[in-house]
Structure 1
Amino acid sequence: MKRRNLISATAAVAAASVATVARAQSQALPTIRWRMPSSFPKALDTVYGNAQTLASTVSDLTEGRFTITPSAAGELVPPLQILDAVQNGTVECGHTAGFYYIGKEPALVFDTGVPFGMSPRQHTAWMLHGGGLELMRDVYAKFNVVQIPCGNTGAQMGGWFRKEIKTPADFNGLRIRAAGFLGHIYTKLGATPQQIPASDVYTALEKGTIDAVEWVGPADDEKLGLHKVAKYYYSPGVLERGASLCFIVGKQHWEALPPTYKAALEAACAEAGADMLAKYDATNVPALKRLVAGGAQLGAWTPQITEAMYKANEEVMKEQAAKNETFRKVHAHWSRFLADQVLWSSVNDGAAEQSMNAQARKR
């Protein structure tokens, strides 16, 4: 046999062997079916779409052997009880935000986002390369749950208000829908916070059960119709520079997954997360233009209001750190990382953005 033919034959045999091994390994992988309730309704196609993208990608990467079926808020589990359902084994996994459960563990707020905290990029850096993921998984371990970051809304708006807000005193007596630590801050400002799921926000605002609502941003707020029942829309979202979502899975289910499926799940969460933030960045601007054209009064927090919010946030952080060891540990680590990120932003990204804004104002 000539040398060329020998090489060709050897290559063909090797390729066939590899294909055979791959088929055997693929066929050896189990068929797994999970249910994944979400905290968000189908009407919010970007945030709920994050769950759908995640599930679809997992199925694609595993050739349909590992499927996750998402369900919208309230269809399978109440929207603010996803962690409970995963913890007690009612479902295998869930799609939610950690700060919905600060009543169980205040440190879970760092999984989602803290007022005057990190941007989505900074939060991702902390999670993936700053030790944040390890810290948060230690926190979730108390609930026998494993967490994977899976998306971020980007900076959120300050919210919709029935009356104009000109000074910190204007918050006195207001009933406002606010999640996470935002509620603690509004309490400091004299308001009464309420944690209400997205499906009930419009009705509560329309009936006057609440006077204001902080939800996400123009794209989602428009879909919920909040501009129809409140006139004043405020920015910037200093209280929520980004809200990170999480995929959570019962520890026993996670540990039972083959390594291939774990890798597929983590890759799917990363892809869904990148797509979610990009979609919000693309859709918020045209939505804001429509809202303003439709009569929404776009306003900005005054320096006095942001200063009052900042002071209230500092007080809340100190109070929580003083009485909760887990919170104190995570907060100290998170704060050090944020300080470095703020420094870097002041040197480069943030400075460049300020320069661009200054030039835009001259045009």
Structure 2
Amino acid sequence: MKTCLTAAACTALGLVLATQSAATEWNASVWGKRRAFTEHVEKLAELVSEKTGGEFTINVSYGGLSKPRENLDGIEIGAFEMAQFCAGYHRDKNRAITVLELPFLGVNTLEEEVAVSHAIYDHPAVLGEMAKWNARIIMTSPMPQYNLVGTGTPPDALVDFDGMRVRATGGLGQAFEAVGGVPTSVAATEAYGAMQSGVVDTVAFAQHAHLSFGTINEADWWTENLNPGTVNCPVVVNIEAYEALPPEHRDVLNSSIDEAIAHYLVNYGELLETWDSVLKEKGVTKAKVPDEVIAEFKAKAADPIREQWISDMSAQGLPAQDLYDLVQFTLNAKRGGN
């Protein structure tokens, strides 16, 4: 009887230990507060938990694990399993994906942004570069074209950008610099303070960020049509943690990505539908930059910066022309071109 009880107890203990070992808990490092920009991360966490009956959980931390500019470093050392970062925060670490931050790239919709981003993420040059940081990109954080908020008189001539101190990162910063602007790449969480204190005159953000980080509250105007480009902010996972997942959990994670992106697109679309009412509520004027000024801006920023990027990245051993061509091919395919 004692032997039977002991055997039964051992069997039960073994089942408990097996159940415990099958459970997976990840931490995801993002920043700011929950907003449209993080909704796909939140949805992914929700989906994997639901599909595994709570056996796979992702704890989303808003600044508690790392600073925004250090998320890729945290992924490299395994400080957490998932993170969001923006390419412009450390362009030397993620050179290949900066093709997606070139100014006036021609991406018009969030769906197009998803398509070109994921095509680039799957390129061998990107996979190899990210692997150096023990990172694997699993999805993008698609954002619309950035536009400026500012105080005083909005720009209506190219000369108005000369000397303008603008919070803009990556290719956007280069674009404003090409027309005489003075870009600064303060983190998103510091943009409001920089604007309020006069460190910058204007801030370039997508709509959700102007709301989330309060820059819209300091603004007199918002440029509704400048559309100089956007930033690219992938969600990455630690390769070792990803490969250590039980196969069933890895399958759940992979199969939930498209659902998470779809949720993000719906949520962001709802935000865009309310944007005009937000501007009205806050007393912010929609400033339309003259078409001829935008054409001048493009002439100074788009082609020269693109050609310089291709030259510089090629010199560093990256297939820069291939990456740029892949963006254009994907855009054409997304639009039903031949």
TM-score w.r.t. the length of structure 2 is 0.82
Q: In the superposition, relative to structure 1, how do residues 165 and 143 fare at CA in structure 2: closer, same or farther (>3 Å)?
A: same
Aligned residue pairs, count? 317
Q: Are the aligned partners of 1:150 and 1:272 in contact in 2 as well (CA < 8 Å)?
A: no
Question: Equivalent residues in 2 for 1:318-337 (5 A)?
Answer: 318-325=307-314, 329-337=318-326
Q: In the superposition, relative to structure 1, how do residues 342 and 32 fare at CA in structure 2: closer, same or farther (>3 Å)?
A: closer
Q: Are the aligned partners of 1:150 and 1:246 in contact in 2 as well (CA < 8 Å)?
A: yes
Question: Equivalent residues in 2 for 1:203-282 (5 A)?
Answer: 203-217=193-207, 219-236=208-225, 238-240=227-229, 243-282=231-270
CA deviation after TM superposition for structure 1 residue 196, in Å: 2.1
Gaps of 5+ in 1: 1-22, 349-363
CA deviation after TM superposition for structure 1 residue 258, in Å: 2.2
Q: Secondary structure at the match of 1:152?
A: coil
Map of 1:41 onto structure 2: 32
Q: Distance in 1 between matches of 2:114 and 2:215?
A: 30
Gaps of 5+ in 2: 1-14
4+ residue segments displaced more than 4 Å: 26-29, 326-330, 340-348
Map of 2:284 onto structure 1: 296
- The answer to whether structure 1 residue 307 and structure 2 residue 299 are counterparts is no
Q: In the superposition, relative to structure 1, how do residues 52 and 131 fare at CA in structure 2: closer, same or farther (>3 Å)?
A: closer
Map of 1:143 onto structure 2: 133
Q: Distance in 2 between matches of 1:341 and 1:324?
A: 21
Amino acid at match of 1:236: N
CA deviation after TM superposition for structure 1 residue 236, in Å: 2.4
Q: Secondary structure at the match of 1:260?
A: helix
- The answer to whether structure 1 residue 107 and structure 2 residue 99 are counterparts is no
Amino acid at match of 1:66: F
- The answer to whether structure 1 residue 170 and structure 2 residue 160 are counterparts is yes
CA deviation after TM superposition for structure 1 residue 338, in Å: 4.1
- The answer to whether structure 1 residue 69 and structure 2 residue 59 are counterparts is yes
Q: Are the aligned partners of 2:121 and 2:137 in contact in 1 as well (CA < 8 Å)?
A: no
Amino acid at match of 2:112: Q
CA deviation after TM superposition for structure 1 residue 234, in Å: 0.4
Equivalent of residue 79 in structure 1, options 68, 85, 101: 68
CA RMSD of aligned residues (A): 2.9
- The answer to whether structure 1 residue 194 and structure 2 residue 194 are counterparts is no
Q: Are the aligned partners of 2:29 and 2:84 in contact in 1 as well (CA < 8 Å)?
A: yes
Question: Equivalent residues in 2 for 1:108-123 (5 A)?
Answer: 108-110=97-99, 113-117=101-105, 118=107, 119-123=109-113
Tell me whether 97-106 or 229-238 shows the greater mean CA deviation. Answer: 97-106
Q: Distance in 1 between matches of 2:335 and 2:244?
A: 45
Map of 2:40 onto structure 1: 50
CA deviation after TM superposition for structure 1 residue 269, in Å: 2.6
Q: Secondary structure at the match of 2:249?
A: helix
CA deviation after TM superposition for structure 1 residue 69, in Å: 0.9
Q: Are the aligned partners of 1:107 and 1:326 in contact in 2 as well (CA < 8 Å)?
A: no
Q: Secondary structure at the match of 2:283?
A: coil
Q: Distance in 1 between matches of 2:97 and 2:330?
A: 21
CA deviation after TM superposition for structure 1 residue 253, in Å: 1.4
Q: In the superposition, relative to structure 1, how do residues 290 and 247 fare at CA in structure 2: closer, same or farther (>3 Å)?
A: closer
Q: Are the aligned partners of 1:321 and 1:327 in contact in 2 as well (CA < 8 Å)?
A: no
Map of 2:275 onto structure 1: 287
Q: 1:83-118, CA deviations, whole angstroms, 9 ceiling, x for partnerless residues?
A: 1111122222212233432133332324x5432223
Q: 1:173-229, CA deviations, whole angstroms, 9 ceiling, x for partnerless residues?
A: 111111221111111111111122232211211111110001111x44234332331
Q: Are the aligned partners of 2:140 and 2:233 in contact in 1 as well (CA < 8 Å)?
A: yes
Q: Distance in 2 between matches of 1:231 and 1:164?
A: 8
Amino acid at match of 1:291: L
Q: In the superposition, relative to structure 1, how do residues 282 and 27 fare at CA in structure 2: closer, same or farther (>3 Å)?
A: same
Calculate percent identity across the aligned residue pairs: 20
Equivalent of residue 94 in structure 1, options 83, 87, 108: 83
Q: Distance in 2 between matches of 1:56 and 1:342?
A: 31
Map of 1:185 onto structure 2: 175
